[in-house]
Amino acid sequence: MSTALPVYLDYAATTPVDARVAAVMAECLTPAGDFGNASSSHAFGRAAAARIERARAQVAALIGAAPHEIVFTSGATESNNLAILGAARANADRGRHLLSARTEHKAVLDPLKHLEKAGFDVTYLTPARNGVVTPAAVAAALRPDTQLVSLMGVNNETGVLQDLAGLGALCRERGVAFHSDCAQAAGKVALDMAVLPVDFLSFTAHKLYGPKGIGALYVRASARGLLEPVTFGGGQEQGLRPGTLATHQIAGFGAACELAGAALPAESSRLTQLREALWERLRALGEVHLNGAGAPRVPGILNVSFGGVEGESLVAGLAELAVSTGAACNSASAEASYVLRALGRDALLAASSLRFGLGRFTEAEHIELAAAAVAREVRRLRGMSPAAGLAAGAAEAGETATVSGEAGGPGKETWVRFRLFTEGDTVKDARVQAFGCPHTLDVAGWLCQQLRGRSRTALLPGAPRDWALARSVPAEKLGRLLVIEDALRACLLHWP
């Protein structure tokens, strides 16, 4: 049994800490390093404070900001909350209308939902099918009482880039504060706050080879008065984010930003080439849909949907890859990606999407391996589906009659077709084709073995609950086993 780790292609979820960053962090942890509390006035505190200010300058330089415009937080989620909740509450007397999009990260959508419960009014725009929110769409939705617009720079699922310059210019013209979640943009595309008309910008270290648990909110100096804190105690970070500063994390964040800025031009070109090479290999499979096609996209994200396969089964077969899927595979609802649904993908296509996140340690051989693995699984699953035609395998000698039955169907989350090779009233052999989750495929295949030798009057080997116990099927998947049962009962109806 192989113990090799899968190829990591989920850099959009998180990145490993660069060894050079880890070395800098280690310098701030032990008695021989800069471990002190930066709020202290003694030598240890002053050394830690100096480290922090050096890192603040490094972080600011990555996005073309001034150091005093950087507020350290625990990550992009906290930065988003500070920007949205802090601005909304500080400016409630100016208006209680906020504007965002349906495709934002939950770290933006959830604070907005919280504000709705507090009496604010939020408009959620639906992007064009390519994922772009146009300035024209924003202009049409702005109202006299709009006080904040929050639109992400790069979508975390599709990699689609928004026109921050155009969106920000519109907001500035209308006197509306503009916030952007740039967790997927910082260090991946050029950002220059001296030019971009953005008031608040959120980003995080763990998306650019720094540590988890540290991020920043850029607060334009002229917009500082538009923001109030949402947590209290201590007065650190200009009174906007209190608490003892994590020197080692901040130092790592600074080092990661400096490295990302230096590598950005060459890395952007390299990742774009790798991304396009992977796309060319995948599109050759047919019925493969590029999510975000026709829009500018960040180099390291490729999101595709595969027709004719079930998303959870696809991912389950890709043991050699670490990738993300558009389906919440472990949830009871198996809900497809709300981002892809907002872009017009139907539920099955949205659930059959894979997001490939490429990064600093991705090589050409990883792309080849990924393309081959996905091609293998897509072809296997499509071949197993009832959509492929009749089940493979002709009746063996002496099997004179074939009984078939199916349930579910095209466009459904589960579709099962059985073919029984019979002799008189006895099943000699059974074949199945199935489209569905891994549990559906497993139980259907297992039942083919159980059916051999069974009579017409006792065809069903127990009930779905028995099958679920025998094959360790989660309770939330029991409904899919009912489709299998219906397919077997359909065999009885067609038995000559």
Q: What is the mean pLDDT of each run of 10 residues along the chain (496 residues)?
A: 81 98 97 94 95 98 98 98 98 96 97 97 97 96 98 97 98 97 98 98 98 98 96 91 96 98 97 98 97 97 96 94 66 69 91 96 98 98 89 45 90 95 93 96 97 95 96 94 97 91
Residue range(s) occupied by CATH 3.90.1010.10 in the chain: 394-494
Architecture of domain 394-494: Alpha-Beta Complex (3.90)
Kindly name the residue from 28, 182, 257, 329 that is annotated as catalytic: 329
Architecture of domain 19-261: 3-Layer(aba) Sandwich (3.40)
329 in catalytic set: yes
- Which class does domain 265-384 fall in? alpha beta
Q: What local confidence, expressed as pLDDT, does residue 334 receive?
A: 52
Q: What local confidence, expressed as pLDDT, does residue 283 receive?
A: 97
Nearest to 310 by CA among 286, 331, 334: 334
Q: What local confidence, expressed as pLDDT, does residue 1 receive?
A: 41
CA distances for 207 relative to 2, 80, 186, 253, 256, angstroms: 30, 15, 8, 10, 10
**Residue 202 neighbours by CB under 8 Å, 6+ apart:** 76, 79, 80, 83, 179, 180, 181, 182, 183, 215, 216, 217, 218
Q: Check if the beta carbon of residue 216 is closer than 8 Å to that of residue 182.
A: no
How far is the C-alpha of 15 from the C-alpha of 475, rounded, in Å?
Answer: 34
Q: Check if the beta carbon of residue 174 is closer than 8 Å to that of residue 94.
A: no
Nearest to 104 by CA among 92, 96, 117, 113: 113
**Dihedral-angle region of residue 142 (phi above 0 means left; psi in -120 to 50 means alpha; beta otherwise):** beta
Residue range(s) occupied by CATH 3.40.640.10 in the chain: 19-261
How far is the C-alpha of 491 from the C-alpha of 494, rounded, in Å?
Answer: 5
CB atoms within 10 A of CB 265: 10
Nearest to 204 by CA among 105, 337, 101, 127: 105
Q: What local confidence, expressed as pLDDT, does residue 390 receive?
A: 55
Residue range(s) occupied by CATH 3.90.1150.10 in the chain: 265-384
Q: What local confidence, expressed as pLDDT, does residue 462 receive?
A: 95
